[in-house]
Structure 1
Amino acid sequence: MVKTLDARTSQGSKGQGVLTPSFTNGVPLLFAQVGLQVSNPGPIIRTLFSGVVTVTANQLFNNGSLAIEVYRGLGDSQQLVYRAERTVLGNPFFSPSVLSFTGSDYNVSPPANGQLVYSAYATFSYGPDTGVSNVRLGPESFNATVYSDD
């Protein structure tokens, strides 16, 4: 039987509005981090996560891209477990641009300290001649739930 060990949400914004800090062209921005408590897990641990990031593209002259990366662990021991990317059209008609994602991490080793940490980064890349600001909008959130077998 499957049991839920913990569930957490990191919420940057519930609604639309400019968020700070904004993106720097091509530089990953930590937008969410959760610490899941894993006590007395069964033999197989797995995590299901989802989230949403929204950017405005109404100042772009050319298309850009928005990438999401989710890592397990902290510092030098971080391990990439998920990556998604989408094109952001440089046209006010298609702005804002929303990237929602769902992923999983299977057969996770139990953490020695009992806390499983996931960090979510967003990278917004656009043409070097484009001077954009205030491109990070809400909603923005990251959800993670960790399960194990009995």
Structure 2
Amino acid sequence: MGNFLDARTSQNISTSNATGIPVTTTPALFGTLGLNTTGAGPNLRVQFTATVGISSLATIAVPITISIFRGVGPDAVLVYRATELPIALGAVGALNRRIITVTGADYQPPNPGFLIYQAFVNTEGGVAVAPTRTGPESFNASAYSD
């Protein structure tokens, strides 16, 4: 068991409207957080969990990808990516909903004393049938070291 350093939560409430935000092939930011890693010993590690709720009035027939990056902008490093494949066909005209949760870790990242992580969601091509981000959306991370 390691020494706890810091934990943060990024809760996105912008998807609380009834129509949601369209999910496209362009990654969309849904969570940003920073962790204080000052005083970390060897074997620094960050554990994270991200959740996105996706809805559609038709079948959600495209893979949905969640990506976690360390840092921001063009120098950000992809540390985790998971794609959930389409679910079985749902009833046309009924609300089809997916809650996608991923859990991962960034083992031995560089330690500048403060690490920033960002979570993104997008579709992976296919025929998008109006999937939208309707929530919940949350991103949690904790930092530990030996």
SS in 2 for 1:69: strand
1:42 aligns with 2:46: no
C-alpha displacement of 1:109 = 1.3
1:127 aligned partner, one-letter code: V
Task: Give the RMSD, CA atoms, in angstroms.
Answer: 2.4
- TM-score for both structures, normalised by structure 1: 0.82
- Find the partner of 1:66 among 42, 56, 64: 64
Partner of 1:122: 121
Contact 1:88 1:97 in 2 (8 A): no
Alignment of 1:1-150 (within 5 A): 2-13=2-13, 17-18=16-17, 22-60=21-59, 63-89=61-87, 91-92=90-91, 95-111=96-112, 114-125=113-124, 126-127=126-127, 130=129, 132=130, 135-149=132-146
C-alpha displacement of 1:69 = 0.3
C-alpha displacement of 1:20 = 8.1
C-alpha displacement of 1:77 = 1.6
**Judging changes above 3 Å, is the alpha-carbon distance between structure 1 residues 19 and 49 closer, same or farther for their aligned structure 2 residues?**
farther
Deviations 1:22-44 (A, max 9, x none): 13521100000101111111022
**Judging changes above 3 Å, is the alpha-carbon distance between structure 1 residues 27 and 6 closer, same or farther for their aligned structure 2 residues?**
same
Q: Specify every segment of 5 or more residues in structure 2 that has no aligned partner in the other structure, as ranges.
A: none
Name the CA distance, whole Å, in 1 between partners of 2:86 and 2:57.
Answer: 10
SS in 2 for 1:49: strand
SS in 2 for 1:43: coil
Name the CA distance, whole Å, in 2 between partners of 1:21 and 1:95.
Answer: 13
Contact 2:23 2:121 in 1 (8 A): no
Contact 1:19 1:138 in 2 (8 A): no
Provide the identity percentage: 34
C-alpha displacement of 1:144 = 0.2
Count of aligned pairs between the two proteins: 141
Contact 1:23 1:29 in 2 (8 A): no
